[in-house]
Amino acid sequence: MMVVLTMAAALWGIGAAMGTPRRARWIMIGILLLLVNLAQILLPEGNTLREATGGDARLWPFVMSLIAIAFGYKYLLNKLKKRIKTPEVSAPKAGFSDVELDRYARHIMLREVGGQGQKALRNAKVLVVGAGGLGAPALQYLAAAGVGTIGVIDDDLVENANLQRQVIHTYDQIGAPKVMSAADVMTAQNPHITVRPYHRRLTAEIAAELFADYDLILDGTDNFETRYLVNAACVSLGKLLISGALTQWEGQLSLFDPAHDAPCYACVFPSAPDPALVPSCAEAGVIGPLPGVVGSMMALEAIKEITGAGEGLRGRLLIYDALYAQTRVISVKRRADCQVCGR
């Protein structure tokens, strides 16, 4: 047996010295083992060559079987490794400081986001209409996620009654414009972003010009007049709209995009309901954490849309019942007779 092993080592060494490819060297060793195996089978017992190469016809088939198993295992392991997609764990250095790379590391480690997705977030411009219950968490998570430019428009001032749910504002900011209070918190949380506060009411006269400068619009307002105004401006400019709403214990949100054959807000809600059927939060009340849940979902849908991750709520309406811990998703379709986006 030692004779065979010595010959195999010699073949390998000579082949390596001559620059013979590894595969060719393995083939030569395989031929050697095959010849040895044939010698064990064909030569009679007591033959000198047979005794020098092991003396037992059962030895080399066993050795060759072990070698085949080892190579088969290695082959399958390499094949499995090639099938596994390794997630991107580092963003391109250009444009990101070490502090930013560390800040966004958990995003960059996600296969669905990665370095390119984080770049897309940094280059994105998102406008949030309303800095109240829904706008507060949406703004905070967009800022934390690294959305490069965030606009926020609202004409309200911070009131004591807001603090039960509008967590971006603090007691010290009572009386201050909500957009300024929100901007202070956002830039303190992430100094690498640009915040554009607009302390004014959104009107039809300024909507088109304002929206044109942004890639994506989030509507967190609390009245139907503004919701229809936002929807109409988005449709006319071909802008994607993420809209949320809530009352008491229930919230809902969807992604409206008629430019890609999904419904607009007016397709789903053609006309405003009777005010008596949908009282405001001031009239009917609202549980504090509910705006946080729905507003965070709005931010998440925006991040998914910007990075291209997963599947968004385009053509679907999500309804969340906080009182009974139930979530439903229903399909919604574009209406050909819609007064806003109708074909």
Question: For 220-257, what is each residue's pLDDT tens digit?
Answer: 998 999 999 999 999 999 999 999 999 899 999 999 99
300-315 average pLDDT score: 96
23-30 average pLDDT score: 71
Could you give the CA distance from residue 131 to residue 85 in angstroms, rounded to a whole number?
41
User: How confident is the model at residue 221, as a pLDDT?
Assistant: 94
Looking at the domain that runs over 124-331, which CATH code has it been given? 3.40.50.720
Burial environment of residue 52 by CB neighbours within 10 A (0 to 12, 13 to 18, 19 or more): middle
Q: Locate 85 and state its tokens.
A: 């997609």
> What percent of the chain stands above pLDDT 70?
80
Could you give the CA distance from residue 125 to residue 31 in angstroms, rounded to a whole number?
67
Question: Where exactly are the structural domains of the chain?
Answer: 2-83, 124-331
Q: Locate 8 and state its tokens.
A: 């195999």
User: How confident is the model at residue 90, as a pLDDT?
Assistant: 39
Burial environment of residue 172 by CB neighbours within 10 A (0 to 12, 13 to 18, 19 or more): exposed
Strands, DSSP E only, in 130-286? 149-153, 194-198, 216-219, 240-247, 250-256
Please determine, for residue 155, whether its predicted confidence score (pLDDT) is greater than 60.
yes
92-102 average pLDDT score: 78
